Chain A
Amino acid sequence: MVHVTRGFTGRHPATDDRLPPGQYLTDDFPVLSAGPTPAIRRDEWTFSIRDGDQALRSWTWDEFTALPAEDITVDIHCVTRWSRLDTAWRGVAIDDLLADVDTAAEYVLARSYGGYTTNLPLEDLLDGKAWIAYEHDGDDLPAEHGGPARLLVPHLYLWKSAKWIKSLDLVDDDDPGFWESLGYHDYGDPWREQRYQGD
């Protein structure tokens, strides 16, 4: 049943078939975070791939930025309903980071500086679908957008693209991360409007 709201005509902003349902286009880059923006020094930054408590691979900032990097142009969609098209990033493909890791794990828990976590199926990070990004629009990634480096998984709502990334933990179970345990969806596909648990 459609409930027409008396007196509302709406602005009918430009749509685009690259815009998922319920999203609007913006040129701003609003911020969704649960707390203050952590300040992480590059000379203290490390990133690792972990299996349980064991670090399988670990990189310092200099080591990480010496890895082969890609320029990435993708659309991003935030659960707070804004989307941006053709955003430019530079970073390292997760495929490359996991190239010689042998694992039976089916899920990943992404962990951030500051304690944030988010859960994803491992296959959603593979085959050129996800990166650890450290530049945006040709500049260093600003702290409020996740710098020094963030996970970038553009085909899922942006809360999955963990800012201030510290490690990817290979895990057997899809245990909910931070927003997921507070009622947000475990998978978060913008094209199916998977905003909240049960969507």
Chain B
Amino acid sequence: MRRWQSATVTGSRAETATAHTLSLRVDEWNGHLPGQHVDVRLTAPDGYQAVRSYSLAAPADDGVIEITVQRLPGGEVSEFLTDIAMIGDELEVRGPLGNWFVWDQEDPSPVLLVAGGSGVVPLMSMIRARHQADIQTPFHLIHSVRTPQDRIYGDELTRLAAQAGGPSVTWLYTRTAPPSETRPPGRLRQNDLDDGSSWTSGATPTCFICGPTGFVEDAANHLLAAGHHADRIRTERFGGR
């Protein structure tokens, strides 16, 4: 059913020093759910192929989809997509894939989003879908990043958070925090997630956690310890440790 199809790079922009967003024009695209991903396939002149998964970063815009790729040093596919791919290049995609880690716009439950690094990508897709559809469901994003410069979508999130009815957004810094920050830099802790829940207006949230495998494991355990129910926690593990 979902065949490989060719995709043309129609846009490329830096989100941070190491993360890039690529816009890809695909011939046949019937839309996707926020949280889904595509498989991207690259082919070398000798026929060698490499395939990796990338989350869709935004609702499709007239056959154009977006992915945001974090460069991993020495990474076979991520280094190509961030450093070498240019407008006009062709690669192949297959999707949309993954029907579990998706936000259902009809579900009125508040949504807690917890991201580590590039794990913010599918969560941003949910935030953008909510904004486009003008839905008021309470959303709270907690994004763990190394330094303030590593805030993928930082400006857009700041802008959305400042709007009436926008999502609330908290950044946690693991290495270097901005001077105004009172939390000492460090990895995700239990109390980073017990935030009083005033944003939920008392209803039970659905939780989406995404990022490197170790981060997701820790965050899920913290949420369970904070009293969230296992069946309200959905996870997507990007790999790594």
Contact = CB atoms under 8 A, between A and B. Distances in A.
Interface of A: 2-13, 22, 28, 30-38, 80-81, 114-115, 144, 179, 182-183, 196-198
B86 to A, nearest CB: 8
Contacts of A5: 42-44, 80, 89-91
A144 B217 contact: yes
A199 to B, nearest CB: 9
11 contacts: A3-B43, A3-B90, A5-B44, A8-B43, A9-B45, A10-B42, A10-B76, A31-B217, A37-B220, A144-B217, A183-B97
A4 B47 CA distance: 8
Interface in B14-71: 42-45, 47-53
- Chain B interface, >50% SS class: mixed
Nearest to A183: B99
A32 B239 CA distance: 9
Contact of B100 (A28, A30, A34): A34
A3 B80 contact: no
A63 B184 CA distance: 49
Indicate the member of B44, B51, B91 with the most A CB atoms within 10 Å: B44
Contact of B239 (A8, A30, A183): A30
Given A7-B89, A31-B237, A34-B235, A2 B47 contact: yes
Contacts of B47: 2
B1 interface: yes
B217 A4 contact: no
A3 B45 CA distance: 9
Contact of B1 (A34, A144, A198): A198
Interface string B198-241: 00000000000000010001001101100000110111010111
B1 A196 contact: yes
A182 B223 CA distance: 25
Given A35-B230, A196-B97, A7 B80 contact: yes
A198 B2 contact: yes
A123 to B, nearest CB: 27
Given A10-B49, A11-B76, A12-B48, 8 more contacts: A8-B43, A10-B42, A34-B101, A35-B234, A36-B233, A38-B230, A182-B99, A198-B2
Contacts of A6: 89-90
B1 A8 contact: no
Nearest to B81: A8
B12 interface: no
Nearest to B220: A36
A21 to B, nearest CB: 10
Contacts of B86: 7
Contact of B80 (A4, A8, A30, A115): A8
Given A33-B235, A36-B224, A8 B230 contact: no
Contacts of B168: none
Contact of A34 (B80, B234, B241): B234
A80 B53 contact: yes
A98 B113 CA distance: 44
Contacts of B100: 34, 179, 182
Interface in B61-113: 76, 80, 84-86, 89-92, 97-101
B235 A22 contact: no
A10 B76 CA distance: 6
A78 to B, nearest CB: 10
Contacts of B241: 28
Contacts of A182: 98-100
B147 interface: no
B128 to A, nearest CB: 23
B230 A196 contact: no
A187 to B, nearest CB: 16
